[in-house]
Structure 1
Amino acid sequence: MASRTEIDSMGPVEVPADRLWGAQTQRSLEHFDIGRDTFVWGRPMIQAFGVLKKAAAQANSELGQLDADVAALIARASDEVIGGELDEHFPLVVFQTGSGTQTNMNANEVIANRANTLAGRPLPAKSPVHPNDHVNRGQSSNDTFPTAMHVAIVTELNERLYPSIGRLRATLAAKADDFADVVMVGRTHLQDATPVTLGQVIGSWVAQLDFAASGLHAADQRARSLAIGGTAVGTGLNAHPEFGRRTAALISAETGLAFTQAVNLFAALSAHDSLVEVSAGLRTLAVALMKIANDVRWYASGPRTGIGELTIPENEPGSSIMPGKVNPTQSEAVTMVATRVFGNDATVAFAGSQGNFQLNVFKPVMAHAVLESIRLLSDAARSFNDHCAVGIEPNRERIAEHLASDLMLVTALNPRIGYDAAASIAKRAQADGLTLRDAAVASGLVTPDQFDAWVVPLEMTRPASD
């Protein structure tokens, strides 16, 4: 692609020659590839419907419910749906009937019409493949739509979210090991506290990611139970008794992910508690990312008048009026994603509570909210890893400066002289502008050698050895 060179305060950048934007817009495009694919609703669900309709045709053929040649045509057309070749023929939006009937029929019609053109029939034609009689054989929108949304969500978790979070976790785990010996001021209530190591700080972020991932994996497993075979109300009317089980097995073979038919098909149509659980897991992950991103931007605040104990990559100019300003933009993007995920989770929880009798009619909005949260968290974690986390480094000089002035090092004296005496030393140091060591020696309760032996910041980052 032809490009031209634009220049801003950070240097040159290549911009597509046929675009009117400049350097800073281009930097934003490169550093914030988060949720850019606005077809969040479409591609995962379209692909899942292709997988489902192919599996259903194969199952019906194996069970003697569908002519083998018709099933083969449906499978060929479904493969094109799976591969993304027919995406332009799926124009529907999220807000439709709550069962997703229009989307199910969109899939039936597209696959039937494509199958008929593959058979050499001009459109319009409903032969040899009919959208209802053949593509939708043994199915209802009430069981196909929840099946497709479960397949789409589980696939997105495994193919998109887990790898993205895994890379960020690996980056942070390596940083925790690299900085295990960097002792810094701990902080509670936004106030100085006893020392920690930077490795311990970053290790806590890793633990949060592990906790969130564990919950998501558990919810993922429960979301693999599919409604297929329940047809209209859960009874399986007009479907072969083995159709649902066989279709779930074929979906598993197609996706490489283990799915099963739901044990209770009535619940599978009327309640979507497993998606509520997945959404809650995504919310927990968003909570973890919010904490991590906020910690990073606070530790990196400054560069001269903030905490300034971490340095992070400088990706783009931070102000249109203040020259040379650089902001923690990746952290800001992650925290905005987190708030969106919180909102999506509220939508899913409320929608999940609205099942009436044999059907929940909030299926499309639940699917959209969960899929959007997966996509945003995946993109945000990848972007944060690539453009921020990999470049995190300690500002050792600033860390040492802060540690030396940390009055809460006095806590090491508690076992030696008691809490009250130690508190009086800390208060005198603060009031008189003394170092903690000078205040301790001036109190007459501690000698210089005792202070040096007892107040060792690194030793304060682990349980006492004696």
Structure 2
Amino acid sequence: MSIPATRIEHDLLGDRAVPADAYYGVHTLRAIENFPITGTPISSYPELVAALASVKQAAVVANRGLDLVSDEHAKAIITACEKIRQGGFHAHFVVDVIQGGAGTSTNMNANEVITNIALEELGYARGSYKILHPNEQVNLSQSTNDVYPTALRIAAYQGILRLVSAMEVLKTSFHNKALEFKDVLKMGRTQLQDAVPMTLGQEFSTYAVMIDEDQERLREAAKLMCEINLGATAIGTGINTHPDYARLACQALQDITGIPVSTSPNLIEATQDVGSFVQLSGVLKRVAVKLSKMCNDLRLLSSGPRAGFGEINLPAVQAGSSIMPGKVNPVIPEVVNQIAFEVIGNDVTISFAAEAGQLQLNAFEPIIAHSLFKSVSHLSNGCMVLAERCVDGITANHERLRDIVENSIGIVTALNPYIGYSAATEVAQQALLSGKSVYSLVLEKKLLTEAQLKEILQPQRLTMPRQVEIGETLITK
């Protein structure tokens, strides 16, 4: 059995053998050993890896402009960062997403991978740190404490836009169903009891509006991600940076990412305050809660097929039982419900992590990042799945809906302006006691004719404000 080739690297704890083919180095190796927590490496969040490369590229552009790094080294580092941003070398970002050290292991993983790619660009072997060093050149003018939170904000901003786009797909699906069902009459319900008539289109249109509102809240949260602390270094004082570095690095980052980032006016505050992440998490929880409510409605409205509401049909996407033949379950809404539960739990985690910050730094940004990125990613996927594999294929059970309206006690509310409150109350009571429908009792008592009932029960009369003029009152004595 052959022994894998290694190279020797050194840090303050001593020498270690690093796999020869690895682009990461000794700091990353120790992090792999120290944090076998989730089994999920930071490469699982490609937007974060790309954001780290963007921050490093912006830093070297600023440092080159200030004559702090040679043009040869800067070009090699920029090339390395661009390759990572384009999707290369992500497999070498291997540290666990949950780690101690406030993200230092993530920052060093990036420094080492970028350095070794750049060394190869310069014609040297990986690990030739006397030529180009992870801390001396790639991390120049930086600290984990400004690199990591800036990268998190860049990645979060891009994730928010992706989520907003996924929500747009779902909103469009609900809107299209609202148009399709605009003339389908049904009973509305409050507290699961019959209320008054509405259309199935109105019911579905509310879901589109709810999503639209949350998209706007997410866009507001995205703006908070644009204020960065790059240039703060350790605690916000900017120690070891040129006076012009923060401005130049911010401009470079804006050029690289296309995101309108700006430097925080108080870098000490910005380095310790994670309030923007708490705000974003709260919005994500809001999205999750409302999506879950929609899915609860879809499951309830489609319940049956014989013993439930049975008002709509969800598309069958898989067999529902290993023992009950023919059973089909609402599995797509169910999976979105579970995403919502996770997001709500993630919000609790983020709240605790934000509260636990001390003095000039919050050491718990790794768990904040992990929780945020899970929420954004899973919500995005959930919206797409719900739209494409559920909402787009929903059909209405027209006869069932009509029967419920005609047999509902709640329909008497619509008749109240025409037959009077006392007569309507009497009809409602008799309907409950006898089991007869309101529709049949009104005809039996000759309060209205069948033609008049059909006229009154038209969707446009029942489902929107409409004054009943005295002259058109249909009361029959």
Relative to structure 1, the CA distance from residue 133 to residue 80 in structure 2 (aligned partners, 3 Å threshold; closer, same or farther) is same
Q: 1:224 aligns with which of 206, 223, 226?
A: 226
Q: Give the alignment of 1:35-434 within 5 angstroms.
A: 41-158=44-161, 160-434=162-436
Question: Which residue of 2 is the match for residue 8 of structure 1?
Answer: none
Structure 1 residue 464: Cα displacement: 1.7
Give the match for residue 16 of structure 2: none
1:173 is displaced (CA, Å) by 1.0
How many Å apart are 1:256 and its aligned residue? Answer: 2.2
Contact kept in structure 2, 1:183 and 1:458, CA below 8 Å: no
Select between 281-290 and 246-255 the one with higher mean Cα deviation.
246-255
The answer to whether the 8 A contact 1:40-1:371 is kept is no
SS in 1 for 2:351: helix
Moved more, 286-295 or 209-218: 286-295
Deviation at 1:167, TM superposition (A): 0.9
String of CA shifts for 1:346-369, please: whole Å, max 9, x gaps. Answer: 111221222221111111110111
Alignment CA distance shift 1:170-1:326 (3 Å): same
Is residue 114–residue 138 contact of structure 2 (8 Å, CA) maintained in 1?
yes
Amino acid across the alignment from 2:91: E
Instruction: Report if the CA contact (8 A) 1:195-1:458 is conserved.
Output: no
In the alignment, what sits opposite 2:12?
Answer: none
Highest relative contact order (Cα 8 Å, sep 6+), 1 or 2? 1
Q: CA deviation at 1:115?
A: 1.1
Shift of 1:49: 0.6
C-alpha deviation, 1:424, in angstroms? 2.6
Contact (CA 8 Å) 1:40, 1:375: kept in 2 or not? no
Is the 2:353–2:364 Cα contact (8 Å) retained in structure 1?
yes
In structure 2, the partner of 1:461 is 463
CA displacement at 1:454 relative to structure 2? 4.7
Counterpart of 2:27 in structure 1 is: none
Q: 1:111, 1:135 within 8 Å by CA — same for their partners in 2?
A: yes
* Cα deviation, residue 417, structure 1: 4.9
Alignment check: 8 A CA contact 1:330 1:388 kept: yes
Scaled by the length of structure 1, what TM-score is found? 0.88
1:249 maps to a residue whose letter is Q
Bigger Cα Rg: 2
Alpha-carbon spacing, 1:384–1:434, altered in 2? closer, same or farther (3 Å): same
Question: Separation in 2 of the partners of 1:393 and 1:145?
Answer: 48
Q: What code does the residue aligned with 1:102 have?
A: S
Shift of residue 388 of structure 1?
0.7
Q: What is the aligned-residue RMSD (CA, Å)?
A: 1.9
Report if the CA contact (8 A) 2:42-2:93 is conserved: no
Structure 1 window deviating more from structure 2 (439-448 vs 204-213): it is: 439-448
Question: Partner amino acid for 1:151?
Answer: I
CA distance in 2, matches of 1:243, 1:460: 66
Deviations 1:210-244 (A, max 9, x none): 11111110011111111101111111111122222
Aligned-pair CA distance for 1:311: 1.4
Q: Show CA shifts across 1:282-320 (max 9, x none).
A: 111111211111111111111122111111211111111
Residue deviations 1:20-47 (CA, integer Å, cap 9, x gap) = xxxxxxxxxxxxxxxxx98675422211
8 Å CA contact 1:41–1:372 kept in 2: the answer is no
Contact 2:184 2:459 in 1 (8 A): no
How far residue 88 of structure 1 moved from its aligned partner, in angstroms, is 2.0
CA gap 1:55/1:80 in 2 versus in 1, 3 angstroms = same
Please give the alpha-carbon distance, in whole angstroms, between the structure 2 residues aligned to 1:422 and 1:245: 73
Gaps of 5+ in 1: 1-36
> Aligned partners of 2:43, 2:60: CA distance in 1, in Å?
27
* Equivalent residue letter for 2:232: G
CA positional deviation for 1:58: 0.8
Q: Is the 8 A contact 2:41 2:94 kept in 1?
A: no
Q: Which runs of 5+ in 2 are unaligned?
A: 1-39, 469-477
What's the TM-score once normalised by structure 2's chain length?
0.86
Number of positions where the alignment pairs a residue of Structure 1 with one of Structure 2: 429
Quick one: structure 1 residues 85 and 40, their matched pair in 2 at CA, closer, same or farther if it must change by over 3 Å? closer
SS at match of 2:96: coil
Which residue type is aligned with residue 303 of structure 1?
Answer: P
